[in-house]
Structure 1
Amino acid sequence: MIGLISATAAGSAAARRVASAWPGRTRVYDGPVGDAVRRAFAECEQLVCFLATGAVVRLVAPLLVDKASDPGIVCVDEGGRFAVSLVGGHGGGANALAREVGDLLGAEPVVTTATDSVGMAGLDMLGLPAEGDVAGVSRALLDGGPVTLHAESVWPLPPLPGVVPASGSSASPSGSAYSIRVTDRAVEPAAREVVLRPPSLVVGVGASRGAPVDEVLGLVRGALREAGLSARSVAELATVDAKAGEPGILGAAERLGVPVVTYTAGELAGVDVPNPSDAPLAAVGTPSVAEAAALVRGGELLVPKRKSDASPAMATCAVVRRPARGRLAVVGLGPGARDLLTPRAKDELRRAAVLVGLDQYVDQIRDLLRPGTRVLESGLGAEEERARTAVAEARRGQAVALIGSGDAGVYAMASPALAEASDDIDVVGVPGVTAALAAGAILGAPLGHDHVSISLSDLHTPWEVIERRVRAAAGADLVVTFYNPRSRGRDWQLPKALALLGEHREPATPVGVVRNASRADESSRVTTLAALDPATVDMMTVVTVGNTATREIAGRMVTPRGYRWQEEPR
Structure 2
Amino acid sequence: MIGLVALNGTGRLLADEIHAAWPETTRIHTAVVSACFGPTEALEYALGRDDLVVCLAPVATTVRLLIDGLHLRPGGPGLVSLDLDLRYAVPLTGRDSGADELAEELAALLGVRAVLTSSPPPATAPPVAQPGPVLRVTDRAHPGEDVLLVHPRTLVVGVGAGGGATDSELMRLITDTLAEHGLARASIARLATVAGKADHPEVRWAAFCLGGVPVDEHPAAALASVAVPNPSDLVGAAVGTASVAEAAALASAPGGELVATKRKSAAATVAIARAAVRGRLAVVGLGPGAHDLLVPRALAELRRASAVVGAPGAVGAVAELLRPGTRRIAADDGAGAAAGAAVDPTVDMAVDMAVDLAVDLAAHGHAVALVALGDGAALSVPPGAYDVHRVPGLPLHPLAPDAPAHPQGDPA
Do both proteins adopt the same fold according to a TM-score greater than 0.5, normalized to the shorter chain?
Answer: yes
Q: Assess, with a 3 A threshold, how the Cα gap between structure 1 residues 270 and 42 changes in structure 2: closer, same or farther.
A: closer
Match of 1:377 in 2: 330
Q: Distance in 2 between matches of 1:210 and 1:94?
A: 49
1:264 aligned residue: 219
Measure, in 1, the Cα distance between the counterparts of 2:407 and 2:259. Answer: 57
1:291 aligns with 2:257: no
Query: Is 1:394 paired with 2:351?
Result: no
Aligned to 2:314: 361
User: For residue 181 of structure 1, what is the amino acid of its counterpart?
Assistant: R
Is residue 95 from structure 1 mapped to residue 22 from structure 2 by the alignment?
yes
Q: How big is the shift at 1:224?
A: 0.8
**CA separation of 1:214 and 1:372: change in aligned 2, threshold 3 A:** same
The separation in 1 between residues aligned to 2:355 and 2:403, in whole angstroms, is 29
| Equivalent position amino acid for 2:363 in 1 | R
Q: 1:412 maps to what in 2? A: 378
Conserved in 1, the CA contact under 8 Å of 2:289 and 2:318?
Answer: no
Counterparts in 2 of 1:201 and 1:42: CA distance versus 1, 3 Å: closer
Map 1:39-438 → 2, pairs under 5 A: 43=10, 45-46=12-13, 70-73=14-17, 88=18, 92-96=19-23, 122=25, 131-133=49-51, 176-187=131-142, 189-190=144-145, 192-209=146-163, 211=165, 214-257=168-211, 258-296=213-251, 297-308=254-265, 310=266, 313=267, 315-379=268-332, 380-405=348-373, 408=376, 411-413=377-379, 416-417=380-381, 419=382, 421-422=383-384, 424-425=385-386, 427-435=387-395, 438=396
Per-residue CA deviations over 1:125-159 (Å, capped at 9, x if unaligned) read: 9xxx98253599999xxxxxxxxxxxxxxxxxxxx
Partners of 1:317 and 1:351 in 2: how far apart?
35
Note the C-alpha offset of 1:382.
2.8
1:335–1:265 CA distance, 2 compared to 1 (3 A) = farther
Once the two structures are superposed, residues 443-478 of structure 1 have per-residue CA deviations (whole angstroms, 9 ceiling, x without a partner) of: xxxxxxxxxxxxxxxxxxxxxxxxxxxxxxxxxxxx
Q: 1:539: Cα distance to partner?
A: 5.5
Which whole-Å deviations, capped at 9, do the CAs of 1:493-538 have from their partners, x for residues lacking one?
Answer: xxxxxxxxxxxxxxxxxxxx33xxxxxxxxxx5xxxxxxx6xx587
What 5-or-longer segments of structure 1 have no aligned partner? 1-40, 47-69, 74-87, 97-120, 140-174, 440-512, 515-524, 526-532, 543-570
Quote how far apart the aligned CAs of 1:355 are: 0.7
For 2:200 and 2:262, the matched residues in 1 are separated by 19
Q: Distance in 2 between matches of 1:338 and 1:305?
A: 53
| TM-score, structure 2 as length reference | 0.61
CA pair 232-333 structure 1, distance change in 2 beyond 3 A: same
Q: Which amino acid aligns with 2:328?
A: V
Contact 2:306–2:367 at 8 Å: present in 1 too? yes
In the TM superposition, residue 392 of structure 1 has moved relative to its aligned partner by 0.9
Deviation at 1:230, TM superposition (A): 1.4
CA distance in 2, matches of 1:288, 1:349: 43
Judge conservation of contact 2:319–2:328 (CA < 8 Å) in 1.
no
Task: Choose 360-369 or 399-408, whichever is displaced more.
Answer: 399-408
Residue in 2 that maps onto 1:564: none
- Asked whether the 8 Å contact 2:287–2:407 carries over to 1, the reply is no
Alignment check: 8 A CA contact 1:204 1:290 kept: yes
Q: Contact (CA 8 Å) 2:236, 2:242: kept in 1 or not?
A: yes
CA offset at residue 402 of structure 1?
A: 1.3
| 1:334–1:269 CA distance, 2 compared to 1 (3 A) | farther
SS at match of 2:310: strand
Give the superposition deviation at 1:177. Answer: 4.6
The CA distance in 1 between the partners of 2:406 and 2:196, in whole Å, is 56
Identity fraction in percent: 43
Counterparts of 1:288 and 1:537, CA distance in 2:
68
Q: 1:206 touches 1:289 (CA, 8 Å); kept in 2? A: yes
Give, in whole Å, the separation in 2 of the partners of 1:370 and 1:541: 27
RMSD: 3.4
Task: Say which SS state the counterpart of residue 382 (structure 1) adopts.
Answer: helix
- For the 8 Å contact 2:311–2:330, the answer to whether it is kept is yes
**Structure 1 residue identity aligned to 2:214:** P
- Residue pair 1:133, 1:193 contacting (<8 A) in 2 also: no
Aligned to 1:445: none
* CA drift at 1:264: 3.2
TM-score by length of 1: 0.46
Find the residue that maps to 1:216 and give its secondary structure: helix
Summarize deviations over 1:339-396 as a string: whole Å, max 9, x none: 4423332222112121111222222221110122111113522333212211111233
Which stretch of the first structure deviates more once superposed, 257-266 or 286-295? 257-266
8 Å CA contact retained: 1:122, 1:138:
no
Q: 1:475-514 to 2 correspondence within 5 Å?
A: 513-514=398-399
Number of paired residues?
293
Which entry has the higher C-alpha Rg, 1 or 2?
Answer: 1
**Equivalent pair of 2:280/2:362 in contact (CA under 8 Å):** yes
Q: Give the partner amino acid of 1:305.
A: K
